[in-house]
Amino acid sequence: MKLEFPKGFIWGCASASYQIEGAPAEDGKGPSIWDVFSHKPGAIAGGFTGDVACDAYHRLDEDLDLMGNLGIPNYRFSISWPRVIPQGTGPVNEAGLAYYDRVVDGCLARGITPWITLYHWDLPQALQDKGGWESRETAEAFAGFARLIADHFRERVHHIMTINEPQIIVGLGYGAGLHAPGLKLPADRLFACWHNVMLAHGLASKEIRLSSPDYRIGLSSTGALGYIADHTEETPADLPEFSFHTLKPDEPADPSSYCWFNHHWFLDPVCLGHYPDDPDSPWASCAEGVSQSDLDLICQPPDFIGMNIYNGTELDPQRGYAPAPKYPGYPRTSLKWPVTPEVMYWGCRQIYERYGLPICITENGQGCHDRIFLDGKVHDPDRIDLLHRYLGELSAVCADGVPVLGYFHWSFTDNLEWHSGYDDRFGLIYVDYRDQRRIPKDSARWYSDLIHR
């Protein structure tokens, strides 16, 4: 498979604060919803928490050295809101901000460009106590946090992503109860959360633009994407069936489950200024009540659309674009996600054709049950094969003229895979959680070689 990318293509790795940092109460940090949720019995597989995770808070230099030595040119990380503003609003925790100064300066000193994600799910618990994303005040508080970060880093950072995956924040956190804060709200209250997350993007984007015109603003979206295996030039990219459902397209429709928020419910209001015209959606009646002034606040088109793409659903045109049946033994990752490289091609094309904005792959990778082999190394041919296939499709969509700015591998180190715990490893760098030893996997060398061909 050809792996050819446009000149200036951005290569990087990604991480998120709660998944790697540990140090949940150190140096003045306030608790996040994940600090609280993870301690509930049964919340995380194996009964683990993120209290230590990869101990990245204390091992920053070691991790950045590894990244620098591999020559990874860009690092997407998230800032823990309660580490910086312990109560979500009000006094700033200077020690928390100083940690992210060290992250940013440490990147720059090693020739790595820092990309900030403002919200990767660790909401201050103090805000959850006042309603969390059900409350509009959370969106307003988020804009304040965004402004603080934008002002603080504007000389050193030029890429900020507002929200990572509203689909998961609301669906899994407030609908299915699998993620923090572990709620199962009815449909109308779930939509209120959704709308406030949309407002958070809009209000924050405005603040970032006011802070500096030099910022390139992004967001990260996820959701089910469909594709047709035997496609031709004529296959339209923007079939509604290609993205209608999220995560579990073959599940029965259930407004209280997380499967209904898709890319369009996020990107239409943000980029086009209205919720999708989708009468069959369980959210259609909720969206009717939204005011024009709110839609105006939300409509802050980003400079690039970040897509987190892991898998998609093959659709069968002969059967009304229903999901194509899977053969026995279909290739899957350790989390049982199907291996479907074509989704890279179709996902990018579809989103570009609908919104006309540059795309950046802000996450892609594979969960594996990696382990240390007898020779002391971590061999991960599965991951290398998956990356090769998915990047081959990405290369093809670039060749077909879709402006893809770059690709961030998820993740740099192994880390806490949310409610699934620590078994499913996504890193290029293996973490031995017994002693926090880092071992670059074969894929780390492969990825580095790809970047530096």
Name the residues that contact ligand GCO, by CB under 6 A.
Answer: 16, 19, 164-165, 168, 222, 308, 363, 410, 417, 426
Measured distance CA(383)–CA(426) in Å, rounded? 9
Measured from the CB atom, is 19 or 300 closer to ligand GCO? 19
User: At its nearest, how many Å lie between ligand GCO and the CB of residue 176?
Assistant: 14
Measured from the CB atom, is 164 or 395 closer to ligand GCO? 164
- Please answer whether residues 409 and 34 qualify as being in contact, where contact means their C-beta atoms are separated by less than 8 angstroms: no
- β-strand 159-164 against 113-119: which pairing, if any? parallel
Q: Which of 165, 314, 393, 417 is catalytic?
A: 165
Chain residue at closest Cβ approach to ligand GCO: 308
Measured distance CA(164)–CA(18) in Å, rounded? 13
Measured from the CB atom, is 81 or 410 closer to ligand GCO? 410
Measured from the CB atom, is 165 or 380 closer to ligand GCO? 165
The secondary element (H helix, E strand) that includes residue 393 is helix 381-399
User: At its nearest, how many Å lie between ligand GCO and the CB of residue 165?
Assistant: 5
Measured distance CA(157)–CA(26) in Å, rounded? 25
Q: What are phi and psi of 452, to 5 degrees?
A: -105, 20
What residues contact 238, with CB distance under 8 A and at least 6 apart?
A: 350, 353, 354
User: At its nearest, how many Å lie between ligand GCO and the CB of residue 410?
Assistant: 5
One-letter-per-residue 3-state SS of 216-239:
EEEEEECCCCEECCCCCCCCCCCC
User: At its nearest, how many Å lie between ligand GCO and the CB of residue 153?
Assistant: 21
User: At its nearest, how many Å lie between ligand GCO and the CB of residue 121?
Assistant: 7
Per the DSSP assignment, residues forming a β-bridge with 413 are 429
Measured from the CB atom, is 368 or 444 closer to ligand GCO? 368
To the query of whether residue 363 is one of the catalytic residues in this protein, the response is yes
Measured from the CB atom, is 93 or 243 closer to ligand GCO? 243
Measured distance CA(136)–CA(127) in Å, rounded? 11
What residues contact 412, with CB distance under 8 A and at least 6 apart?
A: 13, 14, 15, 63, 67, 72, 75, 427, 428, 429
To the query of whether residue 165 is one of the catalytic residues in this protein, the response is yes
Q: Which of 134, 314, 363, 393 is catalytic?
A: 363
User: At its nearest, how many Å lie between ligand GCO and the CB of residue 424?
Assistant: 8
Just list the catalytic residues: 165, 363
